[in-house]
Amino acid sequence: MAKEIGRSRRLRKKLYVGEFAIMGFEFTCKVDIDSDTQFEEFLEAFADVAEDKNLLISLDNDDEQFEGFVTSHDRYGSATEEDKAAIEAVLLAHSIVSDVEVSKLVDVFNEK
């Protein structure tokens, strides 16, 4: 077993470890854009969930793939299982979205 490193609260905060660890998750899905209106409705619903939950989302998409990483917008806040469920629900609620995958929560800065 590895010996636990003793760090001061200040150092744990600077390193984002222990109680200051920030958690987030990834998601991917395929998007079949039939019309710009459907895609705009999907993006609007997605943005509403992000705003309501105070989430920060980095997105990457092309014509078929829509993916991103989600974490809390609060300085030392983390995404939660509830946030994961909300993002997954909005993805599954639109007919233009398929093959939805949402990862487990991971430590944003110190993933192993």
Segment 56-61 mean pLDDT: 89
- The rounded distance, in Å, linking the Cα atoms of 25 and 34 is 28
Of residues 39 and 87, the one with the higher pLDDT is 87
Check residue 46 and give its pLDDT.
92
Which contacts (CB < 8 Å, 24+ apart) does range 9-15 have?
13/76, 15/109, 15/110
- Give the pLDDT confidence of 26-53 residue by residue, as tens digits: 999 999 888 888 889 999 999 999 999 9
Give the mean pLDDT of the chain: 90
This prediction's pTM: 0.85
